[in-house]
C-alpha cells in the first residue's frame, strides 16, 4: 500500500524541530509495510492536494506565517473540500491559526485566514512558554508537548483537555480541534515523536481508511513508552 504525504512549507514552517513529525510518521508507516512518499512544497510551488493522503504544516515565525497564509488562501476551497471528504490533516504550532477566520497581530492589524473553522487568533506580546500535559479521549491517555505561544484564540476547541498548561484560549480548558480527519493543535515538541500512542492512533486511522481489513504488526516501542511515561510522571505530580 502506498501513502503519500504533502509536507507544506517545509522551509518556512519548521521551528522547534517539528519536521520530526514527518520523520516519525514515515518511519512507523514503513514499519507497517507501507511505501511512503513524502513531497515537500513551499510558496514557489503549485501543488494538487487531492493527490495526497496526509497534509502536514508545522510551526513558523509570525512573519513566515503571514507569507504562508498569503500563498495558502488560493487553496481555501480545495482545503475545505478535502477536510469534508475526510482527507487527513495534521497541523501543529501556529500553523493552526491559519485555519481560523482571522489573525490579529500585536498592532491590531487583521489578516483574513482560511476560515475553515470559526475561531479568531490574536497575537499578544506576552509569550507563553512551558511544558504541557493534556488528556486525549481519542486514545484515553495523556498527551505531552511544549507550548511556545505568542497568541490566544477565541472559539470552540475539542482535541485535548488541559491538565497542565493552557488551552487554545486562556479561559478555555480545551485545546486544539479534531474534526473528521483534521487534527490541529498548538502543541510542538514534535507531537508525534513524543506521543507514541497518539502516533499509533493516527497511523491506524490513516491505514484503516484505505484498508479496513489491514492487519497491523506489533512494533516494539519500549523506548518511546519509557520516555513518554517519564515526562507524564514528572508533569502529573
Residue 27: per-residue pLDDT: 97
Least confident of 25-34, 109-118, 160-169, 208-217: 160-169
What is the secondary structure of 44-62 as a DSSP string?
T----GGG-SEEEE----H
- Asked if 192 and 199 count as a contact pair (C-beta separation under 8 A), the reply is yes
Calculate what percentage of the chain has a pLDDT beyond 90. 81
Average pLDDT of 211-225? 96
pLDDT of residue 236: 83
Cell 480545551 maps to which residue?
A: 174
Residue 222's SS3 state is: helix
pLDDT in tens, 182-204: 999 999 989 999 999 999 999 99
Give, for 2, the enclosing helix (H) or strand (E).
strand 2-8
Exposure b/e, 74-89, CB count within 10 A at least 16 = b: ebeeebeebbeeebbb
Q: pLDDT value at position 16?
A: 81
Q: Residue 171: is its pLDDT beyond 80?
A: no
Return mean pLDDT, the chain.
94
* CA–CA distance, 72 with 66 (Å, rounded to integer): 10
pLDDT of 20 strictly over 90: yes
The full set of domains in the chain, from first to last, is 2-236 (3.40.50.880)
170 pLDDT higher than 70 = no
Amino acid at each position: 500500500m502506498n501513502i503519500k504525504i504533502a509536507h507544506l512549507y517545509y522551509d518556512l514552517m519548521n521551528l522547534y524541530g517539528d519536521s520530526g513529525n514527518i520523520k516519525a510518521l514515515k518511519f512507523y508507516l514503513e514499519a507497517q509495510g507501507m511505501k511512503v512518499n513524502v513531497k515537500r512544497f513551499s510558496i514557489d510551488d503549485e501543488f494538487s492536494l487531492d493527490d495526497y493522503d496526509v497534509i502536514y504544516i508545522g510551526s513558523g515565525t509570525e512573519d513566515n506565517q503571514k507569507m504562508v497564509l498569503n500563498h495558502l488562501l488560493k487553496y481555501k476551497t480545495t482545503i475545505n473540500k478535502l477536510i469534508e471528504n475526510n482527507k487527513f490533516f495534521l497541523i501543529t504550532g501556529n500553523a493552526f491559526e491559519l485555519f481560523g477566520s482571522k489573525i490579529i497581530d500585536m498592532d491590531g492589524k487583521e489578516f483574513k485566514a482560511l476560515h475553515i473553522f470559526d475561531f479568531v487568533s490574536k497575537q499578544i506580546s506576552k509569550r507563553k512558554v512551558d511544558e504541557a500535559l493534556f488528556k486525549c479521549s481519542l486514545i484515553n491517555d495523556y498527551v505531552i508537548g511544549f507550548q511556545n505561544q505568542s497568541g490566544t484564540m477565541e472559539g470552540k476547541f475539542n482535541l485535548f483537555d488541559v491538565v497542565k498548561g493552557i488551552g487554545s484560549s486562556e479561559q478555555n480548558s480545551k485545546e486544539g480541534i479534531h474534526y473528521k480527519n483534521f487534527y490541529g493543535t498548538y502543541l510542538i515538541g514534535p507531537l508525534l515523536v513524543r506521543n507514541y500512542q497518539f502516533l499509533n492512533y493516527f497511523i491506524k486511522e490513516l491505514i484503516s481508511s484505505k484498508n479496513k481489513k489491514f492487519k497491523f504488526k506489533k512494533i516494539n516501542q519500549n523506548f518511546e513508552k519509557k520516555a513518554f511515561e517519564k515526562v507524564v510522571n514528572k508533569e502529573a505530580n
